[in-house]
Chains A and B, each alone.
Chain A
Amino acid sequence: MHTGLHFCALFPPEEPQKFANVHKIFGASNVTKLLNELLPHQREDAVNSLAYEAEARVRDPVYGCISAISFLQRQVERLQKELDAANADLIRFACNGIQAAGLQPPPAAPQALASTHMVPTQPRPVGGWGGRFYQTPSFPIIPYSSSMPWNDNYNPHGGGVDGSI
Chain B
Amino acid sequence: MNSSRCAACKHLRRRCPSDCIFSPYFPANNPRRFAYVHKIYGASNVGKILQDLPVSRRAEAADSLYYEAYCRIKDPVYGCVGLITILHQQIYDAQCQLARIQAEIAALSSQSQSEVQQYRQDENVGPSFLPDQNGVPNSTSYYDISTWFD
In A121-165, which residues have CB < 8 Å from any B CB? Answer: 121, 123, 130-134, 139, 141-142, 148-150, 154, 156-164
In A82-136, which residues have CB < 8 Å from any B CB? Answer: 82-83, 86-87, 89-90, 92-94, 96-97, 100, 116, 119-121, 123, 130-134
Chain B residues within 8 Å of A79, by CB = 91, 94-95, 98
In A18-44, which residues have CB < 8 Å from any B CB? Answer: 24-27, 29-30, 34, 37-38, 42
- In the bound assembly, the distance between CA atoms of A79 and B100 in angstroms comes to 14
Question: Which of B10-18, B62-70, B123-131, B134-142 is near enough to bind chain A?
Answer: B62-70
Chain A interfacial residues counted at CB < 8 A:
69
Chain B residues within 8 Å of A64, by CB = 64-65, 68
- In the bound assembly, the distance between CA atoms of A50 and B109 in angstroms comes to 50
- In the bound assembly, the distance between CA atoms of A26 and B40 in angstroms comes to 7
- In the bound assembly, the distance between CA atoms of A37 and B13 in angstroms comes to 26
Q: Are A133 and B45 in contact (CB under 8 A)?
A: no
Chain B residues within 8 Å of A57, by CB = 49, 68
Q: Are B65 and A76 in contact (CB under 8 A)?
A: no
Interface centre among B41, B64, B81 (most CB of A within 10 A): B64
With CB as the reference atom, state the residue of chain B lying closest to A42: B77
Q: Are A65 and B68 in contact (CB under 8 A)?
A: yes
Interface centre among B45, B72, B84, B112 (most CB of A within 10 A): B84
Q: Are B33 and A134 in contact (CB under 8 A)?
A: no
- In the bound assembly, the distance between CA atoms of A150 and B63 in angstroms comes to 10
Q: A46-B77, A69-B87, A141-B70 are in contact. List 19 more A-B contacts (CB 8 A).
A: A26-B42, A26-B45, A34-B76, A53-B81, A61-B61, A62-B53, A62-B61, A62-B64, A65-B80, A66-B68, A76-B87, A83-B101, A90-B105, A119-B83, A120-B86, A142-B70, A156-B24, A160-B25, A160-B33
Residues of A within 8 A of B (CB): 24-27, 29-30, 34, 37-38, 42, 45-46, 49-50, 52-53, 57, 61-66, 68-69, 72-73, 75-76, 79-80, 82-83, 86-87, 89-90, 92-94, 96-97, 100, 116, 119-121, 123, 130-134, 139, 141-142, 148-150, 154, 156-164
- What 6 A-B pairs are tightest by C-beta distance, nearest first? A163-B32, A72-B87, A159-B30, A79-B94, A49-B81, A93-B108
Residues of B within 8 A of A (CB): 24-27, 29-33, 36, 39-42, 44-45, 49, 52-53, 57, 59-68, 70, 72, 74-84, 86-91, 93-95, 97-98, 100-102, 104-105, 108-109, 111-112, 115, 148-150
- 25 contacts across the A-B interface (CB closer than 8 A): A25-B41, A27-B44, A34-B40, A42-B76, A46-B78, A49-B82, A61-B49, A63-B64, A66-B64, A72-B91, A76-B91, A79-B91, A79-B98, A87-B101, A89-B101, A93-B108, A93-B112, A96-B148, A123-B89, A130-B101, A150-B60, A159-B29, A159-B30, A159-B33, A163-B33
